[in-house]
Amino acid sequence: MGEIEERGRKGKLVFAVNGERFELSEIDPSTTLLEFLRTRTRYRGAKLGCGEGGCGACVVLLSRYDPTSERVDEYSINSCLTLLCSINLCSVSTTEGLGNSKDGFHSIHKRLSGFHASQCGFCTPGMCMSIFSALVNVDKTNRSQPSPGFSKLSVAEAEKSIMGNLCRCTGYRPIIDASKSFASDVDIEDLGLNSFLNKGQKVLNADNLPLYSSGGICTFPDFLKAEIRSSLNPVHSLTDSWHCPHSVNEFFDLLTSAKCSNDCDVKLVMGNTGSGVYKDQNLYEKYIDLSGIPELSVIKKDNSGIEIGAAVTISKAIEALEEYGTLIFSKIADHMKKVASHFVRNTASLGGNIIMAQRNHFPSDIATILLAAGSSVSVQRVSGRLVLTLEKFLESPPCDQRTLLLSIRIPHSHPVSKESVILFETYRASSRPLGNAVAYLNSAFLAQILFSKNSGDHILDNIQLAFGAYGCEHAIRARKVEKFLVGKRVTVAILNDAINLLRETIIPEEGTPSFGYRSSLAVAFLFKFLYPLAKGNGYENSNGRLSGDVNFSLDMNAEDELLDQLDHTELLLSSKQVVGFNKDYLPVGEPTRKAGAELQASGEALFVDDIPSSKDCLYGAFICCTKPMAQVKGIQFKSTLASQKIVTVISAKDIPRGHNIMKSVLGTERLFADTHTEYAGQPVALVLAESQKFANLAAKQALIEYGLDMLEPAILTVEDAVKKSSFFEIPPYFAPKKVGDYAKGMAEADHKILSAEVKLGSQYYFYMETQTALAVPDEDNCMVVYTSNQSPDLAQQIIANFLGVPHHNVRAITRRVGGGFGGKTTRAMSVATACAFAAFKLQRPVRMYLDRKTDMIIAGGRHPMKINYSVGYKSDGKITALHIDLLINAGISEDVSPMLPHAIIGALKKYNWGALSFDVKVCKTNTPSRSAMRGPGDLQGSYIAEVIVEHVASALSLDVNYIRKKNIHTFESLQLFYQGSEGEAFEYTLPSIFDKLGSSENYIHRVQMIKEFNNFNKWKKRGISCVPIVYPLTLRPTPGKVGILNDGSIIVEVGGIELGQGLWTKGYTAGSTTSEASCEAVRLACNILVARLKLLKDRLHEQLGSITWDTLIAQANLQAVNLSASTYYVPDHNSMQYLNFGAATSEVEIDLLTGATTILRTDITYDCGQSLNPAVDLGQIEGAFVQGIGFFMQEEYLSNSEGLVVSDSTWTYKIPTVDTIPKKFNVEILNSGHHQKRVLSSKASGEPPLLLAASVHCATRDAIKAARAEFLPEDSSSTFTLDVPATMPVVKELCGLDIVERPKKHLRPTFSPEEVERVHANAAKIAARLAGLSSVTVQAREGCSEPTSGGDPTPSNSGGDYVVVPTQEASVAMLPNVAIIDDKSTIREQGIKINTAEAKRVKGPLEGELVPELAHQQGKELATEGVPPSQDLDGLSPITSTSSTRRNRMIQRCY
C-alpha cells in the first residue's frame, strides 16, 4: 500500500487550445473535451450534434508530441466522446484556431463559403476540421510537391475526407467540391458552381482560389513541447477520481487497493468511444486511464504474424497491417476502414472494440474478420496471464473490470504446398457502403485451396468461416459447415449442401429485425466466395492451377460481374450544374454567397446553445414516459451519484390548474402528462441540475410508477382510430375539392384496379441542432426566451398564454436555427415553454439542449398514412377516374395535421385523372404529434400518384413513361384541376421539361443500355425512372423594414428566420415562399425610401453637382427626412397561389445478393422562374432531393408495440451520407422567363425538389422488376409493392431471399430456343451499331453440339457483312458466334476503339467470337458488358484479344 501511495503523485491537467495554455488542478473527470470547450472557453465552434460520435459536428484536431522522435501526431477526434483528462499535455485545434473574422479566415472557411457549401452552418465547423485534418496529414507524406495553392491530397482522398460528417441541408455535393478544390489532381470541370472559377477556363489557376499553404497553422505550441521535455516523472493521477497507471502491475494494484473497492463504480478509459454506443447511465466514482501502460500500445511483427496491443487505436492498427505487406492483412485493414468514421477510429482502441463484442454483444466487424483469420488474445487477470483463441474468448462469460485485454495476435497464413493458395475475403452489408453504419451481417472467410491437375478440381484443404452482427451474441465460426467442406472438391452440388447446412447454423435470435434477410446474407456471401471455384459453373481456369496468391480471383477482372465488376465502394463523384442567370434586376439574380457563411465555418456564428450561461443558470432535461394511456402514480429516483445532482423537479403538479396547455396552430397539447400519459415518450416532468450533463443523467435515474386501472386501450394505428372513430375535424377552408364525376369516369373505363393499398411511414427531421432554448427572467414580470425556432412569434403567444402574462411581457428571440425542416415550428414549443415556466417559477435562468435520443422520441416527424385507391383506365393507358381513401396518423394533437389533406391532394393532382374523388380522415392516435416536415403532404401525394401510374402501366404491360406522358396535364386540364393557381399557358413548362428528361433520344438510349446490361448481368440489375412534379404554393403576407443609419449603412428586417438559406442574401424558406415574400416587402420599403430621398437628391444635385451617398444621408438627417420605412406585403389574390414544375431522371443499380442500391446518376430540371439567387436555389434543390432519398430509401423511424420510438440515435437512424448520394448528380435550374405575377419573376425552391427523389424509388422498382423476371418466373407479375423506405432487406426480399439456392441457370445452365434467339438478336444489333453496318446476318457455328436443353436457332443464310476474329475451338457448345469486321485497323464509335487488326471480311457461317468479347479493356466495358450509361467513354485504350478461356466464361455468362 505504501508503494501505491508513493507512486500516486498527483499532477495538474495541462493542455493547449488553439495555442492558448490551460492548467486545471481540479476537474470533474466525467467532463468531455466538448463540454469544456463550450462552457469554459470562448471557443464554441465544435457543436454537440449527437453525443455518440455519429455526426461529426464536434470534430476537432488533437495533436500529441513525442519528445524522443520530436514527432507531432495530428488526427481528428470526436470532442463529444473524448474525456478532458485524457488529453493531458496535448494540443487541441478548433475551427476558430484556423482563422476568424478579425485575423482573417482560413482558405477552408473561404472555399466552403465560395462553393456555397454552408447552409444552416451547424455542421460546417466539423466539416472544416475533417478537411483540415486530411490536409495536415497528407502534407507530411513524401509525395511530390503540388502546385502552389494546392495540397498533396488526391481527389479520391478529398472526397472521403468528410466521410462520417453528416449534413442535412446541402446534399453534400458543394462540400465535396470545396474539399476537392484542394486536391493536386483536381480538374476544373469536376468542380461545381462557385464564386472563384469560370467554367470557361481551360487551365485551373490557383490564384483564383483562396490561397492554401501547408504548415500555415501551428497545431502544437513550443511552450507545450518544452513542458513535455522538462517533465521528469509520470503523473499517476490528475484528480482523486482519475488514475493513470503506468504498468500492468500498477493497474492491478490500483484495482485491489482501497481506492477501488468492490462496491466502487470504476470506468476503464482508453478512447471512451464506447460511450457513444453504450451511454453512461450514471456518474462513475473512479476512472482509470489505460493509455499510459506501454505494454498495451506495443505492435510486434515477425514472420508468424503481428501482435497488436489492446490500447492501439484502430487507425494505428490499420497502418501497421498495411505496412506488414501481406494481402490478408491488407484485406483486414481495408475492412477496418469501413468501421465507424475516421475520427472515431483515431481514438477507438482495437482492444476496446473486442471487449465490447465480448462483454456487451456489440455487432463488431473487427471481431468477425479477426476470428476468420485465426486470431488469439492475451488476457491478464488477477490470477495470472493466459492466451486464448479469439473464438474461445468471445464464448467466455462477459469480462469484468478485473480482466485486462493485453493484445491481439493475428497469424500470417502460409500456403501448405506449392500447389495450394490461400483465399481470404471479408464482407459486410450495411446501409452505408463506406462505413459509419453497423452491418446487417458481416463475415470473413479464409481457405487453403489445392488444385488437382488430373481432374481440374479445386479442393478445400482447410476453411474458416466467420459470421457476426446477424442478431447473435457474438461472432461465430460456422464449424459444422467448415467440417463438411474440408477435403471436399468444390462443386455446385457440394456448394448447395454447404448452403443448406449454413441455413441451419446462422439463425438470428428471436426478435431480430430483418430475420430472414440476415440469414440470406450469410448464404449470399458464402456463395460469392465459393461459387467461382465450383466445377461446372463455367468459370474454371483452363491453365491447370489457380492464379494469384492470397487475393486471387481466378483470372476474373472487371468483366466477371459475379465478383463486383463495378466497384461502388469508391466515391469518385461528379456533377454538372446548368444555371441561367437573370440579369434583369442585377445584382439580384446572380449567384451570391450566403451572408455569414465564413462566420459559420469559423465557429463565430452564434446559435442558441452558444450563448454563455450566467452563474446561476440551471439546466433541464425531460423525464419521458414509456407507456401510453397509463396512470402516473408517482416518480421516484434511484439512489445514485447522478440523482444527487438534482436541484429540483417540475411536473404538472407545479402548474396552476388549467394552464398545462400549449395552444398551438390548430389545437392544444399538454406540456406534461397530468394524471395519465397520452402517448409513449410524453414528457412527465422536468429535472433541473447545474449542468446539462447532470440533468440528462439525473433524468435517467427516474422510475415512473404506472397504473392501468380503468383506462381505454391506446390507439396506435389508423386502423384502431377508424374502429373507435377517433378523428380530428378538417376545417372547410382546408378541405380539398373534388374534380369531375367519378362514377361517370369509372363507367368509361376499359379496366379497373379496385382498393389497392399503399402504406407510408414517418421520417425524423434530423436537424443537426436538437431542440434548445434559454429563458432569462427580466424585470417587471417579463421573460426573454432565446429559442431555436422557426416561428418565434408563435412561441411568444404560446409562452405568454402558458405563463398567464400579456404577450408583450415575453420576448422570443431567434438569431439562427441549426436546421429545422418544419420540426422547429410547433415541435419547438415544448422546450421553449418548459424553460420559460421553470425560469418563471424559480426566477433563475433555465436552459435546455435535448440529447438526440429525447429529441427523436418526442419529435413526431412526418405523418404516416394508409392509402387505398381505385382507378379506372382505358386500354391505351388514359386514366378516366381515381378515388382515394386516405387515413392520416396525426398523433395526439391536431398540430398542423388538418392542413395535410389539401397538400396531399394538391400534389396528387399532377396528373389528369379524368375525375378525382377522395375520402380523407385525420386520425387521432396515442402517438407523438406529427407536424409539418419539408414538403408536408405534398411528398406523399406526389408519390401516391406515381404508385398509381406504375400500377396501371404494369397491368397493361406498357412502359410507365408512356402512361405518365399520356396523363400529364394539358393546360386545359391543368386549369380544371388547379383552379386559380394555373397561371398563364406559357408558364406551364412541365410537358417540355418531362419530354427533355423522359422522352429524349438520350433517355431512350439509356433505357436500351440498361436492358442490355440486365441481359448480360445476373447478380446486378439496373433501373431507370423519370418522375414529374407539380407543387402548389401560396404566398403569405410578410412584413419588411429598411432603415438607413447615420453613417449610410443599411439595416434590413424581415419576418423570417435564418435557417441556412442566408436571410440577408435571399431569405429563409418555410412553406418555401418566405424568401420571395420577404424580398418583395423589402423592395416596397426601399421604394418608399427612394421616393423620400429623390427630392432631396435632385435639389442637392442642382446646388452641388454630383453628390456622394454619405453627403446625401447626412443632409437627409439634417433635414429630418424619415430614413426608416416599414411595409407589409400582402399578395394580390390573383397571384397569391401558383405552381412549381420540375422532373428528375434517376438510374440505379441493385445488388441482388445484398439488396444494396447504388444511385448511379440523377438528372434534375427545375423551373425556378428567374432565380433570385441561383447559388441558394441550387443548394435548396440538391439538399431537398437528398433528404428525399432518405425518406424513400434509407430512413426507418420505427416504434415498438407501445408506440415508443426505437429509432432513437445515430446508430439506429441513418440519413444519407456522402457515399449514398448519386454518383453523378446533374441539376439544371430552368430560367423560364418573365412571370409578371411573381416577385421579380422568381419561384420557390426549398421544398418542391424533395418530391423528385421518388425517381430513385421508382428506378429501384424498375431494377427489381428485371430481377424478378429472371429469378422469380413463377411470380413474374410486374405488380408488386415496394415499401417506403426501400431498404436493403426490402429490395433483397422482393428479388428473392433464396435466389442463390434455387436450381436456376447459374447452377445448372439450361437454355431455351427463345433465350438463345434473344442473345443472338442482341449480338447482331450491337455488331451493326458498332460497325456501322446496315445489317448483320447471325448464324451459329457449324458442327456445334446440342445445348443442355433447348437449342441453337435455325441458321439464317440471308448474307451480309461480318467481322470474324478467328479463335480457338470454343468449349461451350451453345455460342452465338457473332463479331464484326472492317478493313481498318480500328473501329471508333462514341470514343470506343476496337482492335480488329486480325479481322477478315467474309460471307457465310461464322467462326468467331461473340461481340461481348470485344467489350473489355482495363476494367471498362461496353453496353454489352454493363458500362454505366453515365460513364464517359472517350479515351479508352484499344481493346486487345483475350484468352479463349475468359471468352468462354464471358459468353456463358451472357446466357
Q: Which residues does the annotation mark as catalytic? A: 1247
Give all strands (DSSP E) within 583-630, no chain letters.
618-624
Q: Enumerate residues 6+ apart whose C-beta is below 8 A from 1112.
A: 1093, 1096, 1097, 1100
Cell numbers linked to 486: 474440408
242-243 and 286-289: which strand pairing?
parallel
Residue 1138, phi then psi, degrees to nearest 5:
-155, 175
Distance CA 743, CA 748 (A): 9
Contact criterion met (CB below 8 Å) for 38 and 70 = no
- Sequence-ordered list of residues with C-beta below 8 angstroms from that of 992, at least 6 positions apart, any chain: none
Q: Is 428 annotated as a binding residue?
A: yes
Residue 1046, marked binder: no
Spatial distance between the Cα atoms of 116 and 227, rounded to a whole number of angstroms = 43
Q: At 366, which amino acid appears?
A: I
Which residues are CB-neighbours of 1425 under 8 A, at least 6 positions away?
559, 561, 565, 1016, 1412, 1415, 1416, 1450
Neighbours of 1248 (CB within 10 A): 30
Residue 1270: HSE in the Cβ half-sphere, 13 Å Cα cutoff: 23
1447 known member of a binding site: no
Q: How far is residue 127's CA from residue 1167's CA, in Å, rounded to a whole number?
A: 31
For the chain, the residue count is 1455
Instruction: Tell me the β-bridge partners of 707.
Output: 631
123 annotated ligand-binding residue: yes
The sign of the dihedral angle between the CA atoms of 1411, 1412, 1415, 1418 is negative
The one-letter code for the residue type at 152 is: K
Cβ neighbours of residue 511 under 8 Å, at least 6 residues apart?
none
Residue with cell 485497323: 1385
Q: What's the CA gap between 242 and 265, in Å, rounded?
A: 12
Q: Which residues of 1255-1269 are buried (b: 16+ CB within 10 A; e: fewer)?
A: bbbbbbbbbbbbbbe
Has 56 been labeled as part of a binding site? no
Are residues 833 and 802 in contact, defined by beta-carbon separation less than 8 angstroms?
Answer: yes
CA 1218 – CA 1224 distance, rounded (Å) = 12
409 is in an annotated binding site: no
The reply to whether 790 sits in an annotated binding site is: yes
Annotated ligand binding at 1071? The verdict is: yes
The verdict on whether residue 821 carries a ligand-binding annotation is yes
- Is 923 annotated to bind a ligand? Reply is no
Q: Letter for the amino acid at 726?
A: S
**CA nearest to 846, candidates 859, 832, 826:** 832
Residue 378 backbone dihedrals phi, psi, to 5 degrees: -110, 125
Burial of 1433 (0-12, 13-18, 19+ CB in 10 A): middle
Q: How many Cα atoms are found within 13 Å in the side-chain-facing hemisphere of 949?
A: 29
The whole-angstrom separation of Cα 593 and Cα 1165 is 22
Q: For 830-865, b where at least 16 C-beta lie within 10 A, e where not — what string?
A: bbbbbbbbbbbebebbbbbbbbbbbbbbbbbbbbbb
Burial label, 1200 (beta-carbon count in 10 A; 0-12, 13-18, 19+): exposed
Burial of 1081 (0-12, 13-18, 19+ CB in 10 A): buried
164 close to 56: Cβ distance less than 8 angstroms: yes
The one-letter code for the residue type at 759 is K
- 264 known ligand binder: no
55 in a known ligand binding site: yes
d(CA 502, CA 488): 16
Q: Cell 406540456 sits at which residue?
A: 671
- H helices of 219-372, in order, are 222-230, 248-255, 314-324, 327-336, 342-345, 350-359, 365-372
169 a known binding residue? yes
- Binding-site positions for [2Fe-2S] cluster read 50, 55, 58, 80, 120, 123, 167, 169
- Binding-site positions for FAD read 349-353, 365, 405, 428
- Binding-site positions for Mo-molybdopterin read 790, 821, 934, 1071
- Binding-site positions read 50, 55, 58, 80, 120, 123, 167, 169, 349-353, 365, 405, 428, 790, 821, 934, 1071
